[in-house]
Structure 1
Amino acid sequence: MFRHYFRIAIRSIARYKSYAAINIFGLALGLASCILILLIVRNELSYDQYHKQAARTYRVTSLGLDYNPSVSFAVAPALRNDFPELEHVSQYYYWRESMIEINHERFILKDVAAADNEFAKIFDLVWLAGDPNSALEAPNTIVLTESTAKQYFGDQNPIGQTIRMDNDWELKVTGLIKDLPGNTHLTFKSLVSWATFHDETSNFWSIQGGYLYVTLPEKLSAATVEQRLPAFIKKNWREAVEKEKATLLLQPLTDIHYDQRYLNQTSMPRSKKSIYGLAAVGLFILVIACINFVNMATAFALKRSKDVGIRKVIGAKPIQIIKSALSEIVIQVIIALGLAIGCLLLFIPYTEGFFGTRINANQLLHLDVLIGLFIISLFAILISGVYPALIQSRFNQLQILKASFSTAVKGTTILKRGLIGIQFLVTQLLIISTFIVAKQMDFFLNKDIGFDKESIITFDIGKNPEGLRQLLSNQPGVKDFSFASVAPAYNNNYMPFSAPNLGMQEVDVTEMKVVDENYFSMFGLKMLTGLPITKSIMPQDSILRIVVNKTLVNRLGIQNYNDALGQQITVGDRRAEIQGVVADFQSESKHKKIRACFLYYNPERFQQASVKLQSNHIKQTIASINREWSVLNPESLFNYEFIDNKLARLYEREQTLYNTFKVFTFIAIVISCVGLLGLVSLMAVQRVKEIGVRKVLGASVNNIVLLFLKDFVILIGISFVIAVPIAWYAMHSWLQEFAYQIKISPLHFMVGLLVTLFIAGTTVFIRSFIAATGNPIKAIKEE
């Protein structure tokens, strides 16, 4: 029996190739998108859960005036001493890159970290070589990931090889581990032993990006440990914290990827709202694809209704018609699923570049994914197959064979309109959301950052600042340059400040930048009042002459910027006098409010050169600077970065979200066009006689096209009214994650409406035009 239905289904698909191809293509695209989103969401919601001790592992963080994921290196030894019951205590320090030398050849090694021997006991690293119990115990040792070892040693065994790092350490490779999976907040590609260069500081406020992890024993709760931490701080650092806020917190390991209170870390957290929103997009796309399938399958069923009528006349029962129709649909769904998985296998290697999430083909074989695939396929079959099958079973064979098969099924108009309305609603939601995300990304990167970033590169000054200054002065491709501790887009120096004489008794945190006399003019910083930084020589014990930003003045409670001139504040342990006020500029991401900041002159602390290049010879100028810089610093590698790229890194998560919306909105639009084609085809099939009569009575092609368009314009308008409040609520909630954000305006919603009207109008026009230009006599005779 099933073989019989299978043969009928194959013959039917082969007979109506174009309908079947369009149907299968639309569903395959929807299934591929839904499965890909399933893998991405699954990956995002499983961060750090693969570690066996994940439920008992916490990161020790600090809360002063802000949430900070790092703590002073002084905390770990004190914690081991005062909490001996802790199962593991491990320190971890990350930096973006180091220069290494292997066999007299130099490279830039990315994503470097340092960790102690407890690290491998907390985190489940897959060891390919070396002893996990001792690989990070001795000083001057390093563990490499598999891809890093392959990059620098090829097929050679890396164990025992020597790597010279930053001209300071001779590191012996003692371990080799598999590359970290994509669902972990850790981002290192090599691990240097903590004993190589650990910091012995005892200062509680010395926070340099060191992360501290602890694993609790089975019967010890995090709440119990946190209750004891205030006394622990007071015992070890009473004088350092008695006048300032100081709190240590335990952050669950499995929460790190989603906790947006902690922004200044190696991998930016991702909001669970965004993840659930992406899951909703996947469901929406699958629903759109199924709606398309219903529309096309219904049109397909009506087109071959005479076949069904003949089968009913010769004795076929409704249940047999349903089984036959479902067999065709199951075959089409299976073909579509096969195509979807095939496309996914080709696209999976590029998912990290597009969506910022690393997945692999093996995940398709995991049990939960296979169950998900089964549920998705069953959902597609039930939603897409039951209605068209019931339509065929309800055909009136006498009406079909005697007259018009367009009258064979009645009462489906409301359902059809509802389905296409849902399709328009989802499409407009995606278009509006994508447009708002795009505008926010543009605001991140191009609006209101407070300084000029165009064609500016930054790099280390090196060991000969005066030689470098002379080099840059003689470069024809250099428009301007400045030496400083860091450029405006970087931030790595903070210190406490207060102003008791101005009534500010509470200690706050300020960012510090040491800059030269060219800094303000080259970066286009706007002076609000007073004097900019000038070249000067100042004794160490004298009062600092500083320029402060607008936020610091506001923090002092001063309303008029001129009144801030000459005022004295305490920064760290030194007195400073304000000589000027500069407009705020962005040195951190717009997730956070701009901090108070002060700038002063001290050439001994210059570390970074910033160079503004002539836009017409950028590559040649960089190559020339590289050659001459390398002569001045023969033991180092020239390594530069465009400030634009630095700023873009602050918003990698948002950029991947934007890319995701772009890709899946485009897919939704394509699927919607296929669905519209199916619905208009259905209308054309059902109204073929009406079109013929109208043309005979004198209706023009324009009249008939407008007849089709009218219903769709009304549906688009209704779906737009529903989409506006939903889109506003969703995107308003997302924008609340940023301290600085765009304002949602009516323009954002009108874009969604106009784009939908254009897409739908074009699709409907093409198909209805074909129907309207047909031979009316032929249509009437066929009916």
Structure 2
Amino acid sequence: MQLHWFKTAWRNIHSNRFFAFINLIGLTAGFAGAMLIFCLVYYHLSFDNFHLDGDRIYRMVSASHYEEDDYSQGVPQPVGKAFRNDYIYGEYIAMRSSLGEPQVTVGSGAAKKIFNSEAAYVEADYFRIFNYPFIRGNAAVLTAPDQAVITEKEAKRFFPGRDPVGQQIVINNGNAYTIAGVLKDIPSNTSNRQQLYLSYANYRKANPWMGGDSSWAAVSSGVQCFVKLRPGISAAAVEKVFPAFLSKYISPEGAKHASLFLQPLSDIHFNRTYDGQTEKKQLWVLATVGLFLVLMAGINFVNLATARLFYRSREAGVRKVLGSSPSQIRWQFITETAILVFTSTILSLLTAYAALPSFNQLFDTTISSAALYQPVFIGFSLALFVTVSLLVGYYPGTLLSRLKPAETIRGKLGVARTAGVPLRKVLVVSQFAIVLFMISCTLIISRQMKASMDTDIGFNKTGIVMVDVPNQDLSVIETIRQRVGMLAGVNGLSFCYSSPMSNMYNLNDFEFENATAKTGFRINEKAADTSYLHTFGLHLVAGRNMTGGDTAATCLVNETFVKRMKYTPEQILGRKMTAFGRKVVITGVVKDFHTNDFHEEIAPVCLVSNYRSYGRCAVAMDMRKAKQLLPAMEKVWKEVFPDYGWSYNFLDDNIRDMYHAEETLLKLIQIFSSLVILVGCIGLFGMVSFIAVQRKKEIGVRKVLGASVTSILWLFMKEFLQLLLMALLVAIPVAWYVMHQWLQDFAFRVTLKPGYFVMPVLITTVLVLLTISVKSVRAALSNPVHSLKNE
């Protein structure tokens, strides 16, 4: 390119500072949003891509088949050992049993410190499958019992200034472990987030039944099996042997209701069926939004550029007379565009860098600022700059280069030849359609989320505190019940396995009456005391409450269970069934309540008193007294459990966490929809500003001839309203289809109605009219003398 192109481009930009500023703001907003979206999408797509031979790593997952299929990322504990002994497909096979975040005690006496750390029991081959390098020790240390491996970060937290190797820790005031190895810190872009790893031999000791080699009937989502296949072995070939494998160890009959699959490592982060964190289709939605942002900014530029061709036509004519070729005129315009795009790219990078910490906090990500220096991001930024510069600059430049010099120099080029370019109308319609689509999707997602959080879920979720119970001794439970129950402001207290709506549940087979064959479905067994109904506000529709005590032989079922058994609530009372490994009599039917989030149907439930499974205490409190109650409860807890830490959470927060992925998507859509709207309004404002300048004399003549302010405003608005109507006909059907597909993931969902799209249309119309009015009112109120004085 020649130097004078840059000089001329800069002179043109400087002489049209207002329109250059409009383009600069629009491009910067669009690019910054697109860059942040790119960082987010790339962050999720990079999960677990750093493991060697990642294409050979799989997680063995399971499914049970009754009336409905139930999928789990867990498998029976003996699977790993049996598969390793029976087949040679796996180069390495390792079991992992999650411990959640147990209490870790370091030191004793006055020097004792208590921590919580995400932990798991693992077999040594786990670190031969996954690329988590050791700083001290190696994977072999975990073959011996009572050994532990921790990350470098946890080593510094547990043992500041000391050598961690050889130190002892105590887990949940039980078994002591010796630190035998230290790992490099686990990368943030991995689905395996444990920081503390214990010998798998200790799992067998801690839970003899679940950890035993005969526990083929038990499946826990926390007990998982990972496989690294030998080179040349396909997952499909391995899955073919699973039916025979299960028939051998479970029974041919039991194998009909069970399946095993191999889930690729690359699928773990994205598969919500197996508790993945996000879905790829959500990433593609965000990528589409990023594309919309760039399109909106580019459309703004093209619209303003084509509208201003009338004022650039004489320049093009003079250049042609002086010998410039069409190619040179085209490149002159592309250079001018490239200067603005380059400036916007730099400003966008600075904006993205400044926004990244808040972005991470808002969307619960750990994207490092170093991501902006990575080759892939630099490549994306360069591609954005080059592509937008060429595409946005090429069309207006080509139009300029095709103008005839004779007409342009003599001023015979009409407005219709330039400002009325049909493509510009198509681009404006596209902008309006994108804005309408984004607003429609945002409002419908918001409606679904509001329905999920505010709809009656069949029990009380507000003002209930859930506290972990570290000791299920019956005398300790009664002590807590008496001491906490007498505190002022406590409205109810219940010991249970989990709240009515929870991700923690036990699905089990059961036997009804004296049937020898199992029923066609499984029940959600919930251990609960007799205060469960009162504390959570559950209602009986028939019968009476169950009796308490560990030897109680009564239970409650919900309405869904009754319907599945094809009884009425009154008919099922007094019937016997086997649940929790013992025979019980059904004494009451509970009104249906949601057992999981709105993605799933209500499950058949059985409530049975069993204090050995009471892992939590639910306290219903008067929230006006929460500031006094919580410290009082903490004091009781520390006196009863002096060796355990105190922690609690509110049930409504737990339920909100169940919709974390949807809430994150909603926040993303809301923020970037706002950006799309902002960029669209900036472009529309620029267009109206230009039209006001272009039609200044026409407005002056109309006012002299008696035209009202209203008629002049209508002059500006009528064309844009026609384009908005065209956009409506395009955007609303597309939005309806996309939202209809998205809502299919919810078992309980809002029904799309035509009225849901009235608000998006009104909002878009108001935004368009307000944006147009800002400039058109000023033009309508201007003194016509100033417009006509040059005539």
TM range (shorter): over 0.9
- Identify the match of residue 117 of structure 1 among 124, 129, 148: 124
Q: Which moved more, 1:357-366 or 1:51-60?
A: 357-366
Q: Which residue of 2 aligns with 1:550?
A: 559
1:635 aligns with 2:643: yes
**Contact 1:517-1:533 at 8 Å conserved across structures:** yes
Corresponding residue to 2:788 among 750, 763, 780: 780
SS at match of 1:113: strand
Contact 2:308 2:419 in 1 (8 A): no
Q: Distance in 1 between matches of 2:329 and 2:89?
A: 71
CA distance in 2, matches of 1:513, 1:340: 53
Q: Any stretches of 5+ residues in structure 2 without a counterpart?
A: 205-210
Match of 1:696 in 2: 704
Task: Pick one of 713, 722, 725 that aligns with 1:717.
Answer: 725
Code of the aligned partner of 1:654: E
Q: What is residue 216 of structure 2 aligned with on the other side?
A: 204
> Where does residue 137 of structure 1 map in the other structure?
143
User: Match for 2:17: what amino acid?
Assistant: K
Is the Cα contact below 8 Å between 2:59 and 2:263 reproduced in 1? yes
Secondary structure at the aligned position of 2:94 is classed as strand
For 1:482, the aligned partner's letter is S
- How far the C-alpha of 1:645 sits from its partner, in A, is 1.8
Residue identity in the other structure for 2:128: K
The letter for the 1-side match of 2:273 is R
Corresponding residue of 1:191: 197
**Where does residue 708 of structure 1 map in the other structure?**
716
Say whether residues 1:326 and 2:334 are aligned partners: yes
Q: Please give the root-mean-square deviation of Cα atoms over the aligned residues, in Å.
A: 2.7
Aligned with 2:118: secondary structure? strand
Amino acid at match of 2:499: A
SS of 2:602 mapped into structure 1: coil
- The whole-number CA distance in structure 2 between the counterparts of 1:654 and 1:293 is 34
Secondary structure at the counterpart of residue 508 of structure 1: coil
Instruction: Tell me: CA distance 1:319–1:234, structure 2 relative to 1, closer, same or farther (3 Å).
Output: closer
Question: What is the distance in 2 between the residues matched to 1:277 and 1:17?
Answer: 36
C-alpha change, 1:203 and 1:388, in structure 2 (3 Å) is same
Q: CA deviation at 1:74?
A: 1.7
What corresponds to 1:482 in structure 2? 494
CA contact 1:145–1:177 (8 Å) conserved in 2: yes
Displacement after TM superposition at 1:406 (Å): 6.7
Question: 1: distance between equivalents of 2:556 and 2:410?
Answer: 92
Matches within 5 A, 1:656-695: 656-695=664-703
Question: Which consecutive unaligned segments of at least 5 residues does structure 1 have?
Answer: none
Whether the 8 Å CA contact 2:452–2:598 is kept in 1: the answer is: yes
Q: CA deviation at 1:131?
A: 2.9
1:153-172 matches, within 5 Å, as 153-154=159-160, 157-172=163-178
Shift of 1:606: 2.9
What is the 5 A alignment of 1:40-439? 40-65=40-65, 66-103=70-107, 104-127=111-134, 129-154=135-160, 157-198=163-204, 199-208=211-220, 209-238=222-251, 242=254, 245-263=257-275, 268-298=276-306, 318-393=326-401, 407=415, 409-410=417-418, 412-439=420-447
Q: Secondary structure at the match of 1:207?
A: coil
Shift of 1:725: 1.5
Query: Alpha carbons of 1:302 and 1:136: their partners in 2 closer, same or farther (altered >3 Å)?
Result: farther
How far apart, CA to CA, are the structure 2 residues paired with 1:402 and 1:617?
A: 84
Give the CA deviation at 1:613: 1.9
Maintained 8 Å contact 1:63/1:248? yes
Code of the residue aligned with 1:533 in structure 2: it is M
C-alpha separation between the residues in 2 aligned to 1:607 and 1:271? Answer: 32
* Paired residue total: 772
Q: 1:392 to 1:746 in 2, by over 3 A?
A: same
Deviations 1:36-74 (A, max 9, x none): 222322333343333222211221122213111101212
Work out the CA distance in 2 between the residues paired with 1:572 and 1:480: 26
Distance 1:356 1:607, change over 3 A: closer
Tell me by how many angstroms 1:166 deviates: 1.1
Give me the TM-score of the superposition, normalised by structure 2: 0.91
SS in 1 for 2:624: coil
- 1:11, CA displacement in angstroms? 3.0
3-state SS of 2:584 partner: strand
SS class of match (1:418):
helix
Q: CA deviation at 1:343?
A: 1.5
- The separation in 1 between residues aligned to 2:697 and 2:398, in whole angstroms, is 24
Q: Letter of the aligned partner of 1:578 in structure 2?
A: I
Letter in 1 for 2:246: I
| Superposed CA offset, 1:507-537 (max 9, x none) | 5321112222221122111222111234x44
**Counterparts of 2:448 and 2:236 in 1: how far apart (Å)?**
39
Aligned mate of 1:506, from 508, 513, 519: 519
CA contact (8 A) 2:697 2:788 kept: yes
The Cα of 1:631 is off from its aligned counterpart by 1.3
479-488 or 310-319, which deviates more: 310-319
Give the stretch that moved more between structures: 373-382 or 362-371.
362-371
Q: Structure 1 residue 532 and structure 2 residue 545: aligned?
A: yes
Structure 2 counterpart of 1:125, one-letter code:
Y
Shift of 1:350: 3.7
CA distance in 1, matches of 2:690, 2:675: 23
Q: Letter of the 1:202 partner, please give it.
A: S
Q: Quick one: distance in 2 between partners of 1:568 and 1:692?
A: 91
Q: How far apart in 1 are the matches of 2:572 and 2:434? A: 54
Conserved 8 A contact 1:299-1:681? no
Aligned mates of 1:622, 1:763 — CA distance in 2: 52
- The equivalences for 1:764-775 within 5 A come to 764-775=772-783
AA aligned opposite 2:368: N
Q: What TM-score comes out, normalization by structure 1 length?
A: 0.92
Secondary structure (helix, strand or coil) at the match of 1:469 reads helix
Residue 647 of structure 1, CA deviation: 1.1
Letter in 2 for 1:90: A
Report the 3-state secondary structure (helix = DSSP H, G, I; strand = E; otherwise coil) of the residue aligned with 2:545: coil
Moved more, 93-102 or 627-636: 93-102
